[in-house]
Structure 1
Amino acid sequence: MSEGLKIAFELLGGLALFIYSMNMMSQGLQNMAGEKMRYVLSVLTKNPVVGVLAGALVTCVLQSSSATTVMAIGFVSAGLMRLPQAISIIFGANIGTTMTAQLIAFKLSDYIWPIVFIGFMVYFFAKSDKLKNIGQTVFFFGLLFAGIEIMGSTMKPLVNAPIFTELIASVHDNPILGLLLGTVMTVIVQSSSATIAVLQNFAAQAGVDGNSIIGLQGALPILLGDNIGTTITALLASIGQSKNAKRTAVAHSVFNITGSIVFLCVLPLFAQFVMYISPVGPETAVISRQIANAHTSFNLINTLLWLPLIPIMVKIVCFIVPDRKPDLSTEQVKSEAV
């Protein structure tokens, strides 16, 4: 097998392990707390601020913004929740999903296999379903970081590859290209957590000058694109659902697209803000945390901007997904027949 093919398979294998572990960890968490989280969503959404907090809490617990978003779409489709309530939950889900990037920023290399072993032992020997779910969650939490380690070690040889350095130079000099790259990556992979993990690992690689190969200002547009790409999951989940369910999914897209455009316009200021709130140190050592903080800041600030504008968001999505108007010619034929 050629060296290039080997690197490609190792990178894709690490990514596959990450995505599978993320899904299985989320499944274990949902088995433990899914019904309680559904109850939280159905009850604590009368006030938009509380709805945001509920959406963030549920997503933090379930470690899946897609699960929270699909729940909200299901509630709206069943008539159990109004559109403004669902939109506030979507805002909160965007905040809650940033917890994954924050976890990835921790350096857990020395503890991966002990975590995997402990999780496996609990899952394998436990008799109760509750303990089995805990074991499953811990086991796949460890494997998730194993996937990250595989991707990180595979990316090191790519740092000096001419095709990669040229691509990174293009992205660094053209933020719109970075935005499109992040969007396409997430649409293909169907997981913003996975693409952000890839970005964190790649950004932590040192270039010829000893600094991050891409730098924070080069990574931020890709991060914004990841946030746009993740909205495809909600749009797919809304297919065949009610009008308000489709509007809920569209609200997710409007939220992330408008926010990304605004932040792209103030990119240098955003980069300075992220560096100010992040740890100080060599760029390769702190950029993973900087990307995680940028992800959290983007969704938190975007939510604060949109929260008082939920009525406007409702009007926007109702314009994009309008109610079907009756066909006048058909109505005229009916009246004439009577």
Structure 2
Amino acid sequence: MGNFSAGNASTPDAEPAGPGKKNSSQRAVHLPVMLREVIQHLQLESGLVVADGTLGAGGHSREILKAIGSAGMLLAFDRDPMMISLAEKIVCGENVHIHHGSYIEIRDVLQRHSQSTGRPPLVDRMLLDLGYSSDQLADRQRGFSFQTEGPLDLRFSTSENVSAAQWLATAHDSQIVRVLTEFGEEPFAERLGPAISLAARRGEIQTTKDLVRVVEQTVPPAILRNAEKHPATRVFQALRIQVNDELTHVSTMLNQIAPEVLAPRGIMAVITFHSLEDRLVKQAFRQKNLWEEVTDKPIVPTPAEIRFNPRSRSAKLRVARRVPGQ
């Protein structure tokens, strides 16, 4: 989850803080972002068919299930098998169908369910939480956190594509510069790209700390001293988006798939955590032939939620209704 993806966890612009952070004695506690606002704006009722495209730890899905009751149906998706195994502990029932894979596979899943149940291959409501989970961030083997040592992987599913370290080892300077610029909005991309490429080709970037070391050696010292966020934040965000092809998935869902599978007057809610995602959602929802915006402006977490879950602070929720007859 989404989340960073997640129904997900929280923001990709910062490392964990407060309640979302894992200590040595317990598993990370995942807090679903803007849970009350999501449930309210989805306008849930008994009997609806709802798709949670980014299951994450299951916090949103659990509340969705309560609202739609036994007469409804929940279809949930996640690319990460670890998150599915966690969510299945709290999201379960005969009307729950969890699928290991991306939300862009929903058309095929709905067709199969339609054949077996006789229901139309449509959903009434859909949620995407484009953050990632505290559990993913806390797992050192995934490489999502640059504050801990671990393999530089960054994939939501290790069975997909190549890891970030593998991609860097074969990418040209210009490719790395482009990814850092487009996906990280990194002001020092022109410096960092060649430095990262050279180190990777030498086999010197295998772990999270290897990459952090190159970043710290390349950006101006004054930036390291004075930056509010560590310069590696944008680099890790850019590489995560690249290896998971995140923005392509979001754009494909919003512009092609969701308009096909969402029932007329159906509602879609999307939680984003950085400007690139939010821009895609805003542009998609402004296609008047497809969507009617339910919220004029994005909904943001309350000050109370941000105090309790600091990593929610960059989240934005946009909601739109599917225009009928298109």
- TM-score, length of structure 1 as denominator length: 0.31
Q: Say which structure is richer in helix.
A: 1
Larger Rg: 1
Structure with a larger share of its residues in strand: 2
